[in-house]
Amino acid sequence: MRNTKQYMSLPYNPALKERAKTLRRAGNISEVLLWNELKNKQFSGVDFDRQKIIGNFIVDFYCAKKKIVIEIDGSSHNDKVEYDTARDAFLEGLDLTIIHFLDSDIKTNLSAVMEYLHAHPAFAVATTPPLRGTPPEEGNQEEDP
Please list, in sequence order, all residues whose beta carbon lies within 8 angstroms of the beta carbon of residue 117, skipping any fewer than 6 positions away. 43, 70, 99, 123
∠ CA 126-94-33, nearest 5°, is 70
Give per-residue pLDDT as tens, 30-65: 999 999 999 999 999 999 999 999 999 999 999 999
Query: Which CATH code fits 5-124?
Result: 3.40.960.10
What is residue 10's predicted lDDT score, i.e. its pLDDT?
92
Give per-residue pLDDT as tens, 65-124: 999 999 999 876 567 889 999 999 999 999 999 999 999 999 999 999 999 999 999 987
Measured CA to CA, the distance from residue 58 to residue 96 in angstroms comes to 14
What is residue 86's predicted lDDT score, i.e. its pLDDT?
94
Which one, of 57, 124, 63, 121, lies nearest residue 96 by Cα? Answer: 63
What is residue 123's predicted lDDT score, i.e. its pLDDT?
85
